[in-house]
Amino acid sequence: MPVTEFIARQWADAAERIAGFDRSAETFLENGESPAPGERFSNPELARSFERIAEEGPGALYGGELGREVVETVRDHGGTLALSDLEAHESEWTDPISTEYRGIEVLEHPPNGQGIVALEALNVAEELGIDPDPLDEERLHRLIEATKLGFADGYAHVSDPDRVAIPTETMLSKAYASERADEIGERAGSYGAKAGEHANTVYLTAVDPQGNAVSFINSVYMSFGSALTAGGFALQNRGHSFSLDPDHANALAPGKRPFHTIIPAMLREDGEFRASWGVMGGSMQPQGHLQVVANLVDSGLNPQAALDVPRFRWLEGDRVAIESSRLPDRVVDSLRERGHDVIEEDAFFAEGGHWGGGQIVYRDEDGTLIGGSDPRRDGQAVGFCESPWRFLVVAPRPFLFGEKTTKRSVRVERWRRHREVPRAA
């Protein structure tokens, strides 16, 4: 299949790591080079692995021949993985955690995932109050600070809930959010957290005409994971999120799961399903969730416009990367005056940085599906029509989140005001 532009860039950035392992280089490089945009790439070994899993089921990996190949690869490079580790694996069903943001329930995956970071940040943002203008400097300042507070608690507490007591109820509490919001002033603060930049993640969502929805995300963590390859696929390196501090919540231990970044999400309104969505990008994920929800709910933007809005990405301390090319100079200047160490767009791209990528399918009250796909990535929104009355809309259309009205003139006027993201003057 042809390699898209964004994937080609990530591939090129990882080529040196891949080249350090013979089997990975044979699988993913051609004469030591990563594929260029538009070049076709095939992976017959991965196809054979998929065929084996289709024939033998999950046991092919969790104890079977494919699993033995994975174990052999890891142990050949100094790892301690055993086949018994794969055989002992059990998947689990978990109940989502949620908070209500201005009448919209936001559902996230529970710890050991970082969805609780987004929910705490939303609670803090709701307490502070957010201006509906996506380019308002006070709004951006408050969202950045709410992000930092969410990460401060997330990195301190989120771990394997089977091994560590996580204060989930407290972190989701509106009263706690009010206390934390009081810490935010007119200037950038520091709350002792640091957001990593690693990401090699894929998100997809599908919704059918009956409102059944799947919000799915998968990742090998860093670009090409550990850079080890078995069966045609890269092996993940999620163990990177463990701590070697024995007193830390994420202290390395046998049979334990570390802090995890991937967080598929959904929205409900009055108990009814409204949207299936997610934002890829390591530590960008909860930051993206916060900003996209604010764009949908506070600004009234349709799904595509909500994804289009210029983003920030908090990095550490006072450092924050901004999509500055689509922001007025006054906004960037104001953030700097407030003490934020702003990294502008070109400089962040030069470091290999990005602002994630999101996908949304929103289901209107009449069952109409409205899709949005992030312009920063290579995805797209696609609709399959069952009848002329139920279809996926991929262009701007009337969109009123959380408001009930049958007055078409009001809906159209609101849409016209919000169908396009404001641009810098």
The dihedral through the CA atoms of 257, 258, 259, 260 has a sign that is: negative
Alpha-carbon gap, residue 363 to 213, rounded angstroms: 10
Alpha-carbon gap, residue 41 to 34, rounded angstroms: 10
For 285, phi then psi, to 5°, come to: -60, -55
Question: What dihedral angle (degrees, nearest 10) is formed by the CA atoms of 385, 367, 204, 37?
Answer: 50
* R_g (Cα) of the chain, nearest Å: 22
Catalytic residues: 201
Q: The tokens of 173 are what?
A: 């509490």
Closest alpha carbon to 15 in 29, 1, 5, 27: 29
Alpha-carbon gap, residue 215 to 203, rounded angstroms: 8
Cβ neighbours around 1 below 10 Å, total: 7
Q: Residue 256: is it exposed, middle or buried by C-beta count within 10 angstroms (0-12/13-18/19+)?
A: middle
Alpha-carbon gap, residue 261 to 279, rounded angstroms: 11
C-alpha pair distances (Å), 115 with each of 31, 125, 209, 346, 392 = 41, 15, 27, 29, 27
Note whether 140 and 331 are within 8 A (CB).
Answer: yes
